[in-house]
Amino acid sequence: MIAINQQLKIREEVLNPLLKAAGFSNDGEMWWKSYDEFSLVLNIQNYWWSTDDQVDFRINLGLMIPPIKNAIEQKPELTDLAVCVSQDCFMKENRQFHKFKNSIGYTIKTTDDYQDVSEFIKKDLIEEILPKFFSQNTLEKCINFYKEVPFWNNRLERLILEQKFRSIQNMAC
């Protein structure tokens, strides 16, 4: 099976069911779940040099402030996120480099066995990435998770303050 089809099949058979069961909405390669103060957002980003025979990609995870209220009017874009990190932020170091994983994300080749690739990515998602991502169900938990992540911790705090300031301004009007 060509690499791009393997990736598409993994999204349909592994990622979509996991995210749907957790209450995420989907539009293309973007998934999100909204809470009162923010939305968790997950995106699959293929690198520009990918071909049908070798797909290099990463899983972007983050949050959007303010939350997505109406996806038709406010489809999430990566550039809108308060925080946007790769899957590595959610993984133990010993899982960050292996046959299908490297410093930029995942690599699937046409010569790879689909069952091996899908089981490996499924294990990363179920055991490492999604439990930590799903546990960020309050703004306080998000702040605690990202407090040790350089750049994003400061950006998150700034955006939270800006959002609170906008809310105060709106109440005053």
Per-residue pLDDT reduced to its tens digit, 40-56: 999 999 999 999 999 99
Q: How many helices (H) and strands (E) does the chain have?
A: 6, 7
How high is the mean pLDDT of the chain?
Answer: 89
**Which of the residue ranges 45-59, 64-78, 94-108, 133-147 would you say has the lowest mean pLDDT?**
64-78
Per-residue pLDDT band at 171 (split at 50, 70, 90): low
Q: Residue 141 burial (CB < 10 Å; 0-12/13-18/19+)?
A: exposed
Of 110 and 69, the structure prediction assigns the larger pLDDT to 110
pLDDT in tens, 126-136: 999 999 999 99
In this prediction, what percent of the chain has a pLDDT beyond 90? Answer: 63
- 67-95 as b/e: b if 16+ CB within 10 A: bbeeeeebebeeeebbbbbbbbbbbeeeb
Residue ranges of the alpha helices (H) in 56-126?
114-123
Predicted local distance difference test score (pLDDT) of residue 168: 63
Highest mean pLDDT among 1-5, 94-98, 158-162, 167-171: 1-5
Of 68 and 97, the structure prediction assigns the larger pLDDT to 68
